[in-house]
């Protein structure tokens, strides 16, 4: 297993920050180009209804801070991996669409490249020794905050970002079932991430240790 190298840890964090924030900036530019009458604030507010956008923003800012020297907790780093990983999985399982040109590039950055690169970064360089099963429950806080925000915002402006948090489309009972199902998926993935982190951070055997064998007399 590769030991954590502080320089590579911070450099790859800077790369993830650039890709995540760059993809968001490209999407913002394309939105303004597509609807010239919109202001920067209006387009930013429109984008801000999506879990993908907010999670990429959270990840990008966190990785930028890490690149500048912030020492993030092990549980926060793993939470970022879980949240952006779910972004990629849910998108490719339920929401994927065909896009072209720069829109496809921005879409792939947020839903595919950034999640995969973040997972590899965490596995290879990030500290993981502080992870425990209780963190799988704590990591539900971000999606729970988002669901509450999406439902409240949808009731106010009449636009819901995803079909599974759209009560007028599928009804409140179905929304509740989707939320419970996604919450269970988040928790299960969190437990798996804890197990993976504990396995990756297990102590390596001493280099000079030799396997047991027959002793000479």
Q: Is 127:64 a contact under the CB 8 Å cutoff?
A: no
All structural domains of the chain with their residue ranges: 6-200
Q: Please give the C-alpha separations between residue 115 and each of 6, 55, 56, 161, in angstroms, as whole numbers.
A: 21, 10, 9, 20
Rounded CA-CA distance 79/194 in Å is 10
In the structure, what pLDDT confidence band is assigned to residue 205 with cuts at 50, 70 and 90?
Answer: low
In the structure, what pLDDT confidence band is assigned to residue 28 with cuts at 50, 70 and 90?
Answer: very high
Question: Is the model's pLDDT at 203 over the cut of 80?
Answer: no
Q: Of 147, 20, 131, which is closest to residue 74 (Cα–Cα)?
A: 131
**Cα-trace Rg, the chain:** 20
Q: Of 21, 34, 25, 195, which is closest to residue 187 (Cα–Cα)?
A: 195
Rounded CA-CA distance 165/82 in Å is 20
Rounded CA-CA distance 166/179 in Å is 11
Question: Is the model's pLDDT at 209 over the cut of 90?
Answer: no
Q: Is 20:60 a contact under the CB 8 Å cutoff?
A: yes
Question: Is the model's pLDDT at 5 over the cut of 90?
Answer: no
| pLDDT at site 198 | 92
Rounded CA-CA distance 190/78 in Å is 9
| pLDDT at site 208 | 54
| 108-155 tens-digit pLDDT | 999 999 999 999 999 999 999 889 999 999 999 999 999 999 999 999
Q: Which are the contacts of 62, defined by CB distance < 8 A and separation ≥ 6? A: 70, 72, 76, 80
| Average pLDDT for 191-197 | 96
| 29-41 tens-digit pLDDT | 999 998 888 899 9
Q: Is 15 exposed, middle or buried (0-12, 13-18, 19+ CB in 10 A)?
A: middle
């Amino acid at each position: 297993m590769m030991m954590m190298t502080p320089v590579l840890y911070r450099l790859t964090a800077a790369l993830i920050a650039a890709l995540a924030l760059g993809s968001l900036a490209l999407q913002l530019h394309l939105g303004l180009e597509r609807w010239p009458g919109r202001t920067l604030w209006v387009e930013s507010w429109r984008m801000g209804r999506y879990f993908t956008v907010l999670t990429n923003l959270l990840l990008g800012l966190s990785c930028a801070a890490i690149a500048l020297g912030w020492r993030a907790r092990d549980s926060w780093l793993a939470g970022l991996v879980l949240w952006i990983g779910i972004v990629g999985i849910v998108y490719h399982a339920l929401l994927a669409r065909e896009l072209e040109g720069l829109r496809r590039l921005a879409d792939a950055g947020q839903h595919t490249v950034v999640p995969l690169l973040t997972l590899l970064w965490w596995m290879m360089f990030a500290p993981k020794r502080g992870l425990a099963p209780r963190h799988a429950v704590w990591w539900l806080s971000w999606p729970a905050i988002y669901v509450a925000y999406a439902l409240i915002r949808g009731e106010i402006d009449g636009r819901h970002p995803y079909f599974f948090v759209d009560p007028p489309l599928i009804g409140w009972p179905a929304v509740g079932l989707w939320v419970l199902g996604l919450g269970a998926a988040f928790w299960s993935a969190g437990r798996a991430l804890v197990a993976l982190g504990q396995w990756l951070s297990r102590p390596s055997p001493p280099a000079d240790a030799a396997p047991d064998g027959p002793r000479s007399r």
